[in-house]
Structure formats: structure tokens, C-alpha cells
Structure 1
Amino acid sequence: MSTAPLAGLKILSLAEQFPGPYATMLLSDMGAEVIMIERPGVGDPARQFPPLFRALNRGKRSVALDLKSADGLAQFRTLAQTADVIVEGFRPGKLAALGAGFEDIRKINPSLVYVSISGYGQDGPYRDRAGHDLSYEGVGGLLADQADAGQAGPLPTVPLADIGAALFAAIAILSAVVSSQRTGQGRYVDVSMSDAVVSMLTAFLVPAANGTPLGEFIAEPAYGVFTCKDGKLMTLSIAHEDWFWTPFCNVIGKPELAGLKGRERVARKDALREEIAAVLVSKTRNDWGDQFDRAGVPWGPLHSLVETLDDPHVRARQLLRTMTQDGGKTETFLVQPLKFDNFDSEISGLPPEIGADNDSVFAGGSD
């Protein structure tokens, strides 16, 4: 019997691009069977960017169905009869118009969990507006610094609206499955990418809503990126803790600053940051790192992507998995980061070709 926590859970995914694939990938790594429903000949638009598609869709199966056709819709409904979860990422109302919405499917599978991921949610004035990650970040407040400054700044490189929505979708699926198993009744869950951004900013938006904006901890002089003697970058993350600031000052040879409290440090942040920068550039990153580790000062190397992959801690945490393709070529992937006491996350297969599993899925196979 499998020790995978989600073994036996069957998920049909019509969600494309990033949020849905990332959410279902995490669940696949925990044992769920994920079947992607893709458009014949086209598939997920992310297939135009093979590295992205392959990163998010290994370990899944692919069935090609045209839901606009009577046969395709009938085949989808057949699969839905035995599914535990459906995840979709279309604009609000699109699948319902095809006869594949929640109310349609619950008639043939009353215990089904149905999760919709969309840009702005299933209601509200923006529900039908087109968008991508950057727009959801903008409306959700993630780019508030640029709004406050009144001018555009660098574009974010990490799609946090996509990632946030994916994580909330995974939570939604697991919560609704528990409810369904308990009551026998299915659940519909509306996941909005812009809502996800707003929620992730809880610690900032709640103070703002109450007239007490938060922000002093990132104004700390020793909370930032600094250059070392060897040209390598390091992060210091002393936010508001005097118990970190004091040993830090002693390590860098500035004991006269050790008694400064948080508000004093923030008031003098620019001058103090210049002092810190002038000291840190006198030694290599490894030299400072050894001293900070011994003193219990929060710091870290600032890595490139390649450096992250080779970091000894990342490797020790066993987040990387290498698979061998036909012909002997190897390909490395990342597994979900949850560590179970009796289950080691593995990847069940390479990313599938469009429709690669039509025959086996409709024959009732699991491989």
C-alpha cells in the first residue's frame, strides 16, 4: 500500500499556464493522479515555452479532448464521473457555457470538488477583464512602492500572483476534499489571483486599513544586500531585533553602535547603512559568513539561479530529482518541499506529450 498522502486522489486539470499546473504538480508529488485535459493539437499554451511547461507538468498524464464537440464533452463527463477534483483556469462562465461547469458536473458526481482559478474571481467588476500576473500584482498592492513614488520601477521577475494563486488552490483542493469525504457533498471553490496577492499582503494591508502603515523593519540599516571584498553579494536580515543587532555590531568592529535601539537605527538608517557597507567590503563573503554564523547573526549568500541549484543546503534538503529520458539524456526537476516522516516525494514521470494518455485513461489504466 502506498504511503503517499494523496494516493488514490484523482484530479482532472483544465487549468493552463502557471497557477493550476503548479498547484496540481505539488499534489502529484504527494501521490495524486493528475490528468491534464488539453486541446487537441495545441495543448497548454505554456508548451510554447518548453522549459516552463516541463518544469510544471512532470509526473502528470495528458488527454486531448475538444470540449466544444459533443464527443469531447461526453468523454470529459465520463472522466468526471470517477474524478475527485476538477481544476480549471478559464474565464468565468466559459466552461458552464460548454456544459462542463460545476452545476453540470455535480449532477453526475455529487461528491466532486470543483476549483476555478481566474484572474479576478467569479464575480466583481473586474471578473471579465483579461490579465496576467503583473496586472494582478498591480491591483493587489504588491507594487505599492511604485504607486507611492508616482513612477514606474523595475518589473518583478517572480510571478507572485501566479504562485500565490497556485498555493491557495492547493489549499482549496485539500480543504474541499476533506469536506467532501466527511459529508459526501462536493464543493465549489473560487480562487482569484488578485485576491491571492491581497491576502499575501495581509501584514501590510491590515495596518494600512487601520491608519498604522507597517514598514519600519525593512528600513533597518542592516536589512539589505551588501557587497563583500571578493565582489560577492550577501544579505543581512536584522529586522527589529536588538538581540541580533548587538552581536552584529561587535562582529563588524562597531561596538559603539551596539546600544542603538530600533527607532534610533531607523532614524539614522542611511548613515548607518553606509558605515556597514564600508566595513563589509573589507572581507570576503565566506569570512563574514563564518563570523556571523558563530555569533548567531542572520545572513545569507545572495545566489544566482545556478548557484542556488548547487547550494549545499538545497542539495542536502533533497529538493532536486534527476530523471533519465529515452536515449539516456538526463533532466533535473524540483519536488514539492514538504517532508513527511514516512514518505519521500518522487516524480512519477516525465512531462507528457499532448494526448499521450488518451488510450490508457479511457481503458481505465493508471500508467
Structure 2
Amino acid sequence: MKKHVLEGLKILNLAEQYPGPYATLILSDLGADVINIERPNGGDPARQFYSFYESINRNKRSMALDLKMSKGREIFMELARDADVILEGFRPGVAKRLGISYEDVSSINKQIIYASISGFGQNGPYKNRPAHDLSYQAIAGMLYQQAETNEITNVPKIATGDLSSGMFAAIGVLSGLYMRNQTGEGTYIDVSMTDGLVSWMTTQLVPVINKTGIPGLPDEPGYGIYKTLDNKLISISIAHEDWFWKPFCLVVGLNDISTHNSEGRRSNYSEISQRISNAISEKTREEWEKKFEQSGIPFGSVLGLKDVPKDPQLQERNLFVEIPGDTERPTRTHVRQPLTFKDCESGPTKHAPKLGEHTKEILQDLGYSVDTIKEIFENNICYEEA
């Protein structure tokens, strides 16, 4: 039977809502045992949007534990004693006040990899400022076009700060584990959502900072989205490659501009874009798909969310994994993390947990008796959803 890459790795996840759950989604798909430590009163706030919560918390276990109570902290520290990784998403200083900081945990577990995910990082004038993804994007310069034109456009639908920090947290954890293999000691990782977005803006920021050119790549008419005869959208993605431009022009009937190089196309962006738009509007999307495929033109149909799982390329890549239903839950289809490894599994197998679903199981693993567990629940230190 195929093994999971991170089989045997124990992760305690205290980070709620999006970044921590996305980081641990990646790690749990790769085989890590992820235990979400949730507050007893309602758990992760994202649970109020259950479809959202379910999509990034499948494959994990849930323990509802009151960390404000001394016994709750004691139980957490017992779990931390033999954990490999802890992720937390509190504001800077909160974990220390609770008595579960890196310093607290590393005093009993020198090998712990401890990652803190926060909006602005553990230091700096903004470290305690409350904010969410849109504000991190704004400060990182991701909305620079709005700043330069002073025109407000739609709020971005994709929470890139949450997702990027989740990925950086996963990279940090795996780097920490590699370092531990070399030194025998754990480490502390400071993950800033804003810093991650600034990193993603590298090709826009560096040319501006050094006054060496324009941010990113210049506009190219062969790189855009166009509407077809049947009122559907198709993307053409000729970035700056002249070798794609000539065959594209021959296919769409723009032979007179087929010898334009990248610079010539950019200098006549508006006119050429309009001509492409007119040409694409003369045939259906299916017709263009066939022509572009046959001619080796970079393209992709613009798909709605309902169409993505039907795409033959994505189906062939087995990105959508079905978890069978049980007596309490219906069958669900989830998106697995995208990495594949030779002779290893890399996808979800378990449904998203109910709040505190595994609390008793985890306490039993720690050696607590049935009577003691009953007492813990009666004192509201732990909780499980009925």
C-alpha cells in the first residue's frame, strides 16, 4: 500500500479561519495527523460558513479545548510534549499570555517546529492592528493600479493574503523539519500575511524601487480575454513570444500584422486588441478551441466554477477526490493538494470534523480515564458537538 509523505507527523493547529487551515490542508493531504484545537464556544469562527469551513478542514481531527482555563492549558501542553509542529494565528503576544508560546512549548519539547501566522508579523508598528486580506493586499501594493488611477474597482474575490501565508507557513514548517533533521532542534517561524504578498509583488516592486523599468511585464495584445460568437470567453496567452504570434495571426485571419514583433504589438496595443476582438467574435469558442489546439497556440477557455471539475485536463490529474458518505455525512467531493509523489498517496480521506468530535479520543490517547474525561467535560474544559 502506498504511504503518505508526512505519515507519522503530528500537528497541533490553533490558527483559525483561512491561513492556518489552508496550510494544514496541504500538510494533512500529505499524511500529517492534524488536530484542530478549537474554542469550545462555537469553535473556529469559519464554521458559521460551513461550506467554506468544510472545504479546507477535511482530513483533520477536532478537539474543543478552553485554553483560558488552567486545566485546558495543561492538556494542551501534554499534547505539545510529543507534537512535531504547532501553528497558531493569535495576535502577537496572545500565545505568551495564555502560556502556550514557543518559549513555553520548547521548554518541554526542544524539537518543536512552532509557526505563528499573523497579519503583519511579530514586530513593527502594525503588529497589533486588526485587519483582513483586503487591507494586506492594499499595503503590499497589490492594488497599485487603483492607487495610481484613484479609481475604485471591485474588491478581489480571492483572498491571496490568506492563501499565500498558508503556503509560506507550509514551506516554513517543512524547512523547519529539514533543519531539525540536521540539528536535532526545533525552531520558531514568523509568518506575516503582508510580507508574503510583498514577496509575491517582487517583479512589480523591484523595477520601481531601482528605477529600472515598469512594474511587471508591459501590456501585450496577444495576452488577453476575448468574447466568441456564442457569447463565451476565451483567453489567449501569447506573453511576448514572436514565435506564437505569426501562427496565431494566420489562424485568426490577421495576416497583415503577422510580422509584428513584441515591441511593435505593444506600441499598437489598443488597435491590435480591437482587431483580435473582432476576429474572435466571428467563431464559437469550440471552433477556436479546435483551431488553437491544432496550431499550438497558447489559450484556455474561461471556465465558471461549475465547469472546472468537468475539464478533461483536471480530471486526468485527479484533482477532485470523493470522500464516501457515512451514517452522519453525505458523500463529498474535495480538491486535493496539487503535489504528486511517486508511490505515495496525497489526498483527503476523511470528512471535516464536527466541533470537538475527537476530543475524547485524544484525551484517551493521553491516558485519561473515562471518569476523568467525564469530569473534564462537566467542568466545561472540553466540548463535543452533539
TM-score normalised by length of structure 1: 0.97
2:145 partner amino acid: D
* Whole-angstrom CA distance in 2 between matches of 1:190 and 1:128: 14
Q: Determine helix, strand or coil for the equivalent of 2:334.
A: strand
Hey, what does 2:220 align to over in structure 1? 220
Distance of aligned partners of 1:161 and 1:216 in 2 relative to their CA distance in 1, 3 Å threshold: closer
Hey, what does 2:375 align to over in structure 1? none
2:78 partner amino acid: T
* Whole-angstrom CA distance in 1 between matches of 2:112 and 2:330: 40
* Whole-angstrom CA distance in 1 between matches of 2:361 and 2:159: 35
| Gaps in structure 1 of 5+ consecutive residues | none
Q: Determine helix, strand or coil for the equivalent of 2:323.
A: strand
Does 2:44 align with 1:57? no
Deviations 1:282-308 (A, max 9, x none): 111111111111221111000110011
1:96 partner amino acid: K
* Whole-angstrom CA distance in 1 between matches of 2:347 and 2:269: 46
Hey, what does 2:335 align to over in structure 1? 334
1:243 partner amino acid: W
Hey, what does 1:363 align to over in structure 2? 364
Structure 1 ranges of 4+ moved more than 2 A: 212-218, 324-329
| Gaps in structure 2 of 5+ consecutive residues | 367-386
1:62 partner amino acid: S
Hey, what does 2:384 align to over in structure 1? none
* Whole-angstrom CA distance in 1 between matches of 2:298 and 2:2: 40
* Whole-angstrom CA distance in 2 between matches of 1:14 and 1:59: 16
* Whole-angstrom CA distance in 2 between matches of 1:33 and 1:216: 40
Equivalent residues in 2 for 1:24-35, closer than 5 Å = 24-35=24-35
Hey, what does 1:197 align to over in structure 2? 197
* Whole-angstrom CA distance in 2 between matches of 1:2 and 1:182: 27
Number of aligned residue pairs = 365
Q: Determine helix, strand or coil for the equivalent of 2:279.
A: helix
Q: Determine helix, strand or coil for the equivalent of 1:256.
A: helix
1:344 partner amino acid: E
Does structure 2 retain, via aligned residues, the 8 Å contact 1:217–1:240?
Answer: no
Hey, what does 1:274 align to over in structure 2? 274
Does 2:239 align with 1:239? yes
* Whole-angstrom CA distance in 2 between matches of 1:307 and 1:210: 43
Does structure 1 retain, via aligned residues, the 8 Å contact 2:140–2:198?
Answer: yes
1:73 partner amino acid: R
* Whole-angstrom CA distance in 2 between matches of 1:60 and 1:363: 18
Does 2:114 align with 1:114? yes
% of aligned pairs identical?
43
TM-fit CA distance, 1:322: 1.3
Greater shift in the superposed pair: 308-317 or 168-177: 308-317
* Whole-angstrom CA distance in 2 between matches of 1:253 and 1:360: 67
Hey, what does 1:78 align to over in structure 2? 78
Deviations 1:176-233 (A, max 9, x none): 0111122111100000000010001111111111113435745111211100011110
TM-fit CA distance, 1:244: 1.0
Does structure 2 retain, via aligned residues, the 8 Å contact 1:16–1:44?
Answer: yes
Q: Determine helix, strand or coil for the equivalent of 1:191.
A: strand
Greater shift in the superposed pair: 210-219 or 306-315: 210-219
Does structure 2 retain, via aligned residues, the 8 Å contact 1:225–1:233?
Answer: yes
Deviations 1:251-279 (A, max 9, x none): 11111111111121111100101100000
Deviations 1:102-121 (A, max 9, x none): 01110000110000000000
Greater shift in the superposed pair: 138-147 or 318-327: 318-327
TM-score normalised by length of structure 2: 0.92
1:283 partner amino acid: K
Q: Determine helix, strand or coil for the equivalent of 2:158.
A: coil
* Whole-angstrom CA distance in 1 between matches of 2:347 and 2:254: 49
Distance of aligned partners of 1:87 and 1:161 in 2 relative to their CA distance in 1, 3 Å threshold: same
Q: Determine helix, strand or coil for the equivalent of 2:346.
A: coil
Hey, what does 1:302 align to over in structure 2? 302
Does structure 1 retain, via aligned residues, the 8 Å contact 2:207–2:215?
Answer: no
* Whole-angstrom CA distance in 1 between matches of 2:105 and 2:10: 15
* Whole-angstrom CA distance in 2 between matches of 1:65 and 1:6: 26
Does structure 2 retain, via aligned residues, the 8 Å contact 1:111–1:185?
Answer: yes
Greater shift in the superposed pair: 178-187 or 11-20: 178-187
Does structure 2 retain, via aligned residues, the 8 Å contact 1:164–1:193?
Answer: yes
